[in-house]
Amino acid sequence: MQAQLIALDWGTTSLRAYRLGDQGRVLEHRSLDAGIMQLPTTPRSIAGQRCCDGFELAFDEACGDWLDAEPELPVIACGMVGSAQGWREAVYQETPASVGALSSALVTVRSLRGIDVHIVPGVLQRSELPNVMRGEETQVLGILSSLPASETRKPLLIGLPGSHSKWVRAQDGRIVHFDTFMTGEVYAALSSHTILGRTLQRGDAFDSAAFDRGVGVARLPQGAAGPLSTIFSTRTLGLTGVLSGAAQADYLSGLLIGHEIAALVQLLKQTETALPAVILIGSGPLLERYQRALDASGFPQITIAEQATERGLWQVAVQAGLISSSSTADSRPLHVEN
Amino acid sequence: MQAQLIALDWGTTSLRAYRLGDQGRVLEHRSLDAGIMQLPTTPRSIAGQRCCDGFELAFDEACGDWLDAEPELPVIACGMVGSAQGWREAVYQETPASVGALSSALVTVRSLRGIDVHIVPGVLQRSELPNVMRGEETQVLGILSSLPASETRKPLLIGLPGSHSKWVRAQDGRIVHFDTFMTGEVYAALSSHTILGRTLQRGDAFDSAAFDRGVGVARLPQGAAGPLSTIFSTRTLGLTGVLSGAAQADYLSGLLIGHEIAALVQLLKQTETALPAVILIGSGPLLERYQRALDASGFPQITIAEQATERGLWQVAVQAGLISSSSTADSRPLHVEN
C-alpha cells in the first residue's frame, strides 16, 4: 500500500520510525538505538555525499530506503530531536496546548536528501516550578483525537509511565496541566548508587507481594515521612529478615510508584472533588505496575491506550496540511511547503 | 595527663579515636580514613605477630601507640564496627533506649594485643517500617547526659545531619523514637547519576538564595507533589533561564532538605501539638544548611551541640563500670571484666 507519511518518535535513547498509510494506518515500523544522546558515528554516503553528521546518519538508517522508494513522502518527528541538543530546536509551546497550536508551530530542518523534516515542538508549563515535555504532548494529543467528543469534554488524567513519568490533565481536547515524576530514574539511581543497592538483588521474576507492600507504604501513617525517609525501609526490612534481597527490588519499585501516586492524588485534590478517569499510555511490565498501583489507590476507571505516538504524529501532520486528511482523497501526499 | 579511656567512633568511612582523661576531657584525638568499608590492607606486625586483618590494622593505627604507653586503658567503640559487617556484631537494642540499657549490652572483641574492645550496640525501632542506627544513639545519649534534668524531662528533637540524617525524639533521658532520611545520599545519587547532573555544576561558594528557594519548595502548593516530582524543577528552572548551573546544586540541596523538614513536621504533628526544641549535633557547612532550613520552617529553638560522641562513649563506659565515674577518685582505670 502506498504510504502517506513517515513519522518519527525520536527521543533521548531511541528512534522509532513509522511508515503510515491511509488514515494513519501503520504499514511498517522500526526501532533503532539512535536517540539523540547515542547517535551513529560511522560515516556513510547519503545522497551522494560522504556524511558524518549523527542526525543525518540516524535519519538515513531509520527511513532512507523508504524515501528512496517514495521520495515525496512528508516526514514529521517529535521528541528530544527538537530540543536544544537535538537536530533543530523547536521552541516550547506553552500550556494550554492543542493539536492546532502544535501543528502551526512546526520547525523544519532540511536533510542532506533535500527532504524537510517537520519537528513538533514540546510543551512548557510556566509556574514557580516550570515543567516541560517533548514527545509526550504528541502522544496525549493522539489519544485525545481518537476519543469521542463526549469523552474529551470532561477532565481526563493521562499517565505516561517512564523513567520520567508524566501525568497530563486534559479537557476539551487540550493539555491544560502536567506534572513530571522522575520515579524511574530515581529508582535506577537508588538501586545502583546508594546503600540500598548493597542488599537489593534485581531478578527477572516479578514479586507482586513485595511490590504491593511497597505501594502501600505511602498510605501508612509513617508514609508521611515521604520517600526520602521511607526508602530506607528497603534496607531495614532486609536487616530484620522480612524482605529477601530479591524482594527488595520490587518493594522499592512499589514504594516509589506508591509515593508518586499518593502525591498525584494530593495534587488532584487541590482542584478536583473526585478522582478522574485515567488513560495510561504505553505497554509492558512498567504499565502493569502503574495499573496495579492505581487500582490499589482507588482510581475508579483505568484504560490502556496504544499507538499514541503514531496517532498523534498523524493528527499533527494532517492539521498542518502535510497530508490529505481523507484517505479516500488523492492518495499521493500533498506537496510540502518549505 | 593520665588517660582514663580510649573511645572510638568507628563508622563506614571513617574512624575517629579519642584519648579521654578525667571526666571525659579530650586529651588527644585523631581521624583516620579507616571506616569498616575501607580498612587498611597493608600487613604489619602487631604484638609481635604479622597481621593482615583490616580491623586489627586500623585499631593499631588509631591507638596502638596510646596502648603501648598505657596498656591498661579500657577501650570502647560505637558505630558500624558493631554491625554484621563490623569487627564483632553487637545485636541491636530496641527502643526505648537509655545509657543504662546500652551499657549493659556491650559486646567485646579481644584484639591481638590482648586488649578487649567494648562495642556499643546500635538501636532498632520495630514497626511496619523498621529503623536502625549505629553510632548516633551514643551521640544522642552523650548530649542528653550533659543536659540538666529539667531539660530532658520535656520532649526533645535531636537532629544528626549526615548522608543519612537521623531525627531522634527523646524524653526522660531515653531515645523513644527516630526517623532516618537518606537525603545526603539521595542528593549525591541525583546529582551524579541522573539527568539533573547534566546541567548542575558543583562549586565551592554557597549560593544562599538558591538554597533558600529550594527550601521553600516543599511549602508551595506544588510542593505536595513531593520530591520525586519537584526535583525536576532543578532542570526546568535551568531551561527557563531562572537558575544557572552553579545555582542548581544549592537549589537541589535546599529542595531536598526542605522536603525532609516538611515531612518531619508532618510526622511530629501526628503526636505533638507544638514544634519541639531542636538540638543539632555536628558542625560545619551541612549543619548550617539544616539550621537555616529549620529556621525557615518555624522551629522556635535550635541549639548546636558538640563533642556528642566523646561524651556518649564516656557516659556508657562509666555506666558499664569500665572507668571510675569520679575524676577525683583513683585515676587508674578499673580493671575490665572479660
B227 to A229: CB separation less than 8 angstroms, yes or no = no
| B81 and B203 housed in the same domain | no
The C-alpha cell 544562599 sits at B208
Helix and strand tally (H, E) in chain B? Answer: 12, 16
Note the pLDDT of residue A153. 87
- Which own/partner pairs from A304-307 qualify as long-range (CB within 8 Å, at least 24 positions apart)? A304/A279, A304/A280, A305/A143, A305/A146, A305/A158, A305/A279, A305/A280, A305/A281, A306/A281, A307/A26, A307/A142
Which string of b and e fits A175-186 if b means at least 16 CB within 10 Å? bebbbbbbbbbb
| B96 and B7 housed in the same domain | yes
Average pLDDT over chain B, rounded to an integer: 93
Instruction: Tell me, yes or no, whether B302 lies in a domain.
Output: no
Instruction: Tell me, yes or no, whether A229 lies in a domain.
Output: no
| B100 and B203 housed in the same domain | no
C-alpha grid cell for residue A76? Answer: 514529521
- Domain limits at A336? 1-89+105-121+323-338
pLDDT class of B154 with cuts at 50, 70, 90: confident
Contact of B302 with chain A, judged by CB distance below 8 Å, is answered with: no
Q: Which of B134, B182, B234 to mutate to test the interface with A (most CBs of A within 10 A)?
A: B182
The count of CB pairs under 8 A between chains A and B is 157
Number of structural domains (chain A) is 1
Q: Classify burial at A63, counting beta carbons within 10 Å of its beta carbon; exposed 0-12, middle 13-18, buried 19 or more.
A: buried
Which percentage of chain B shows pLDDT scores above 90?
Answer: 88
A129 to B221: CB separation less than 8 angstroms, yes or no = no
Q: Does the pLDDT of residue B328 top 70, yes or no?
A: no
Q: Which residue from B126, B240, B267 is facing A224, i.e. has the nearest CB?
A: B267
Which percentage of chain B shows pLDDT scores above 70?
Answer: 95
Instruction: Tell me, yes or no, whether B100 lies in a domain.
Output: yes
B267 to A225: CB separation less than 8 angstroms, yes or no = yes
CA A79, A82, A84, A85 torsion: positive or negative? Answer: positive
Q: Which 142-181 residues of chain B touch chain A by CB within 8 A?
A: 164, 179-181
Note the pLDDT of residue B152. 86
Q: Can you tell me the distance from the alpha carbon of A195 to that of A199, in angstroms, rounded to the nearest whole number?
A: 8
A164 to B232: CB separation less than 8 angstroms, yes or no = yes
Instruction: Tell me, yes or no, whether A146 lies in a domain.
Output: no
Q: Which residue from A126, A183, A236 is facing B131, i.e. has the nearest CB?
A: A236
Q: Which 220-249 residues of chain B touch chain A by CB within 8 A?
A: 220-222, 224-233, 236-237, 239-240, 242
Instruction: Tell me, yes or no, whether B60 lies in a domain.
Output: yes
| B31 and B127 housed in the same domain | yes
Q: Can you tell me the distance from the alpha carbon of B257 to that of B184, in angstroms, rounded to the nearest whole number?
A: 9
Contact of A198 with chain B, judged by CB distance below 8 Å, is answered with: no
Interval B159-178 mean pLDDT: 95
| B201 and B263 housed in the same domain | yes
A24 and A309 in contact (C-beta within 8 Å)? no
Instruction: Tell me, yes or no, whether A51 lies in a domain.
Output: yes
DSSP string, A237-269: HHHTTSS-HHHHHHHHHHHHHHHHHHHHHHHHH
Contact of B183 with chain A, judged by CB distance below 8 Å, is answered with: yes
Chain A positions in Cβ-Cβ contact with residue B195 (cut-off 8 Å): 164, 182, 185
Contact of A124 with chain B, judged by CB distance below 8 Å, is answered with: yes
Q: Can you tell me the distance from the alpha carbon of A255 to that of A196, in angstroms, rounded to the nearest whole number?
A: 13
Please report, in tens digits, the pLDDT of each residue of chain A (338 residues total). 789 999 999 999 999 999 999 999 999 999 999 999 999 999 999 999 999 999 999 999 999 999 999 999 999 999 999 999 999 999 999 999 998 999 999 999 999 999 999 999 999 999 999 999 999 999 999 999 989 888 888 889 999 999 999 999 999 989 999 999 999 999 999 999 999 999 999 988 999 999 999 999 999 999 999 999 999 999 999 999 999 999 999 999 999 999 999 999 999 999 989 999 999 998 899 999 999 999 999 999 999 998 999 999 999 999 999 996 554 333 333 232 33
| B115 and B10 housed in the same domain | yes
Note the pLDDT of residue A326. 58
| B124 and B5 housed in the same domain | yes
Q: Does the pLDDT of residue B337 top 80, yes or no?
A: no
Domain with residue B201: its CATH number is 3.30.420.310
Instruction: Tell me, yes or no, whether A197 lies in a domain.
Output: no
Note the pLDDT of residue B333. 33
Domain with residue B114: its CATH number is 3.30.420.300
A224 to B182: CB separation less than 8 angstroms, yes or no = no
Rounded to two decimals, the pTM is 0.92
Interval B113-132 mean pLDDT: 97
Q: Which residues partner with A6 through β-bridges?
A: A19, A75
| B128 and B187 housed in the same domain | no
Of A212, A263, A210, the residue nearest A237 (C-alpha): A210
Q: Which 262-281 residues of chain B touch chain A by CB within 8 A?
A: 262-264, 266-267, 270
Task: Find the helix packing angle between A285-296 and A245-269, rounded to 10°.
Answer: 60
B129 to A222: CB separation less than 8 angstroms, yes or no = yes
Instruction: Tell me, yes or no, whether A257 lies in a domain.
Output: no
